[in-house]
Chains A and B, each alone.
Chain A
Amino acid sequence: MRAYVEFAIKKFQNKMTYRLEFFMGILDTIISLIVYLCIYNALYGNEASVDGITLSMVATNFVISLGLSNAFHFDEFFLEKRVNEGSICNEFLKPVNFVFRMFSENAGEGLFKVIFNFIPAVIFAIFYTELCKPSGLLNVLLMLLSVVLGYIILWLISFIVQTWTFWFLSVWGIITIKNVFVNILSGSMIPIWFMPSALRRIIAFTPFESIYFTPVRIYLGELSGMDILKGMGIQILWILILMLIANLFWKKGVKKLVIQGG
């Protein structure tokens, strides 16, 4: 376990060395927040709420989902690079589980960006616009837990797509398409409240809603009591399903690698 924590810490430290990237990251998040908030400000006009959703709820949704999606952005070519270089085989000789190691590195980067990118953006947003207050301390704590689950879902989706690198030379295109799906369907571009109800019903059957929207709803108090447990239960269910799929692709890919060579 310590070895994996060490991978996360090393990646965390590594990120510290790129100061420009770090400032640009904050700037990027803040600019996108301003753009989205301006658009919704104009759309709302003088309306207090649309479909029962107030402007400050929308703003809160964007701060959490857009802010986190920027913070959770990691190197999605981790696997492709190692497979194409052939160095993946040597990685297998390290006495650690490669997948856990990869997750640890990505999570270390994510944690770094949450602290140095997401939190400054939240602070900026508090002064810039009106946000909803959390419905309680417990909700904030549960939201944090839900955010972690959401991250794992996001990571697993990316990992599954990355494993296709064992069959395709380049996964750039697939990853780009995947990201469009994730960005739109997870509500980090259009709040899920405003999706057409037919689409919303479909999204409810995908893991995308569990990434950011569940934490947002817990924070806002839209989910309470048993509904919080249900929301998080669905997140855990998705994690299990995605882990099964990921495991399947990973095992098949590695098998192909040891049979056909790197």
Chain B
Amino acid sequence: MIVLKDVNKEIKGKKILRDITFHISQNEKVGIIGLNGAGKTSLLNIIAGMLRPSSGFIRVNGVENLVDNREELKNISYISGTKSQLWEDLAVKDSYDNLAKMYGINKGELKLRLDNLSQVFDIGNYLSFRPKDLSLGEKMRCELVYGLLANPNLLMIDEALIGLDVSVKHKIMKYFESYKEENQSTIIYTSNNLSEVERICNRIIVIDKGQIIYDGDIDRILKEFAPLNKVEIQLDGSVPDLGDLPVERFEMDNEKIIIEYEKNKVDTAQIIKHVMENCKVYNIKLHEPDLEDVIKKVYERKG
């Protein structure tokens, strides 16, 4: 469905992407993760045909130049957290009507899909508003509905959840999780957040400095490269004995102890319970594993 072979992209002497080769088959849910500036968005733009590679070969849905093929464009959708697709000074509903006309969706079908999606994303109340009168989160939900209305078989989502609050994020994640099970279409999802990708995708491509450094199962990367979880506990004087706990590493001084551990060996709760039973605890701080550590680990493994 999507084939990239030896794709290189150079813009004004700067290498954006190097030797990108992969194949994504129908219905795969692929997460592309990388730090800021790693080339995620450029890669997505190249797949969509909005950016032409300096060298290499690309085919999407059997088409080599997607932007020039209007029929094929009806099957794809690109949702971006930074570029709006809605008609800025018209009611949200009008943008949807316009989309239906562009994609040849009839009125009955549009109503059906919109009823369903507006329930999922809870945007029923915003339909008569203009995007500029909505908050960021409200607008982003409307953007997502816009991208999903056309029922695309390839869905590209570029950092669409940036700046959204937890409850909204949760709602959106849940929707895409259902996609994962029902196997409706191919999803390419870029993010710099590992846990987001973990929920939506089953395959992950890690890119760093324009190169693929990992491409494979999400479970494997979590098992092999998942960084250590970290908990920081502020103590009052006494220091616990961690002897029996299967933690990887710990550091302590008279005020606090920092424990690093693997989640599949020991529960966070177990550690905290152990420490609290033995000492007086002021404060506990949990650190989510971050992407930088994964990337570091992948590099280390590669040698």
Known contacts A10-B90, A89-B50, A94-B73; is A261 also within 8 Å of B45 by CB? yes
Residues of A within 8 A of B90 (CB): 10, 13-14
Residues of A within 8 A of B11 (CB): 259-261
Contact of B83 among A6, A87, A260 (CB under 8 A): A87
Q: Is A95 an interface residue (CB 8 A)?
A: yes
- How many pairs of A and B residues are in contact by the CB < 8 Å rule? 72
B205 → A minimal CB distance (Å): 21
**In the complex, what distance in Å separates the CA atom of A96 from the CA atom of B73?**
9
Total number of B residues with any Cβ neighbor in A under 8 Å: 31
Q: Is B191 an interface residue (CB 8 A)?
A: no
Q: Is A86 an interface residue (CB 8 A)?
A: yes
Taking a contact as CB atoms under 8 Å apart, the answer to whether B101 and A2 are in contact is: yes
Known contacts A10-B94, A260-B11; is A95 also within 8 Å of B83 by CB? no
Contact of B101 among A6, A17, A92, A262 (CB under 8 A): A6
Q: Is A3 an interface residue (CB 8 A)?
A: yes
From 39 to 75 in chain B, residues with beta carbon under 8 angstroms from any chain A beta carbon are 42, 45, 48-52, 66-67, 70-71, 73-74
Taking a contact as CB atoms under 8 Å apart, the answer to whether A93 and B67 are in contact is: yes
**In the complex, what distance in Å separates the CA atom of A261 from the CA atom of B39?**
12
Q: Is A258 an interface residue (CB 8 A)?
A: yes
Taking a contact as CB atoms under 8 Å apart, the answer to whether B83 and A86 are in contact is: yes
**In the complex, what distance in Å separates the CA atom of A14 from the CA atom of B98?**
13
Residues of A within 8 A of B71 (CB): 95
Taking a contact as CB atoms under 8 Å apart, the answer to whether A258 and B51 are in contact is: yes
Q: Is B36 an interface residue (CB 8 A)?
A: no
**In the complex, what distance in Å separates the CA atom of A256 from the CA atom of B71?**
24
Known contacts A95-B102, A258-B50, A260-B11; is A89 also within 8 Å of B89 by CB? no
Taking a contact as CB atoms under 8 Å apart, the answer to whether B70 and A89 are in contact is: no
Taking a contact as CB atoms under 8 Å apart, the answer to whether B83 and A92 are in contact is: no
Residues of A within 8 A of B42 (CB): 261
Q: Is B273 an interface residue (CB 8 A)?
A: no
Per-position contact with A for B234-265: 1 when CB-CB < 8 Å, else 0? 00000000000000000000000000000000
Contact of B78 among A17, A90, A96 (CB under 8 A): A90
A169 → B minimal CB distance (Å): 15
**In the complex, what distance in Å separates the CA atom of A96 from the CA atom of B67?**
10
**In the complex, what distance in Å separates the CA atom of A97 from the CA atom of B42?**
23
Taking a contact as CB atoms under 8 Å apart, the answer to whether B103 and A95 are in contact is: yes
Residues of A within 8 A of B94 (CB): 10, 13
Taking a contact as CB atoms under 8 Å apart, the answer to whether B45 and A89 are in contact is: yes
Residues of A within 8 A of B12 (CB): 260
Residues of B within 8 A of A14 (CB): 87, 89-90
Taking a contact as CB atoms under 8 Å apart, the answer to whether A90 and B80 are in contact is: yes
**In the complex, what distance in Å separates the CA atom of A28 from the CA atom of B259?**
73
Per-position contact with A for B77-105: 1 when CB-CB < 8 Å, else 0? 01010111101011000100110011100
**In the complex, what distance in Å separates the CA atom of A94 from the CA atom of B49?**
12
Taking a contact as CB atoms under 8 Å apart, the answer to whether A96 and B50 are in contact is: no
Given contacts A3-B98, A258-B50, 14 further A-B contacts (CB under 8 A): A3-B101, A10-B90, A10-B94, A13-B90, A93-B48, A93-B66, A93-B73, A94-B102, A96-B70, A96-B102, A97-B70, A258-B49, A259-B52, A260-B11
Can you report 6 A-B residue pairs in the complex whose CB atoms are below 8 A from each other?
A10-B90, A90-B78, A90-B80, A95-B71, A258-B67, A261-B11
B residues near A, CB below 8 A?
11-12, 42, 45, 48-52, 66-67, 70-71, 73-74, 76, 78, 80, 82-85, 87, 89-90, 94, 97-98, 101-103
A residues near B, CB below 8 A?
2-3, 6-7, 10, 13-14, 17, 85-87, 89-90, 92-97, 258-262
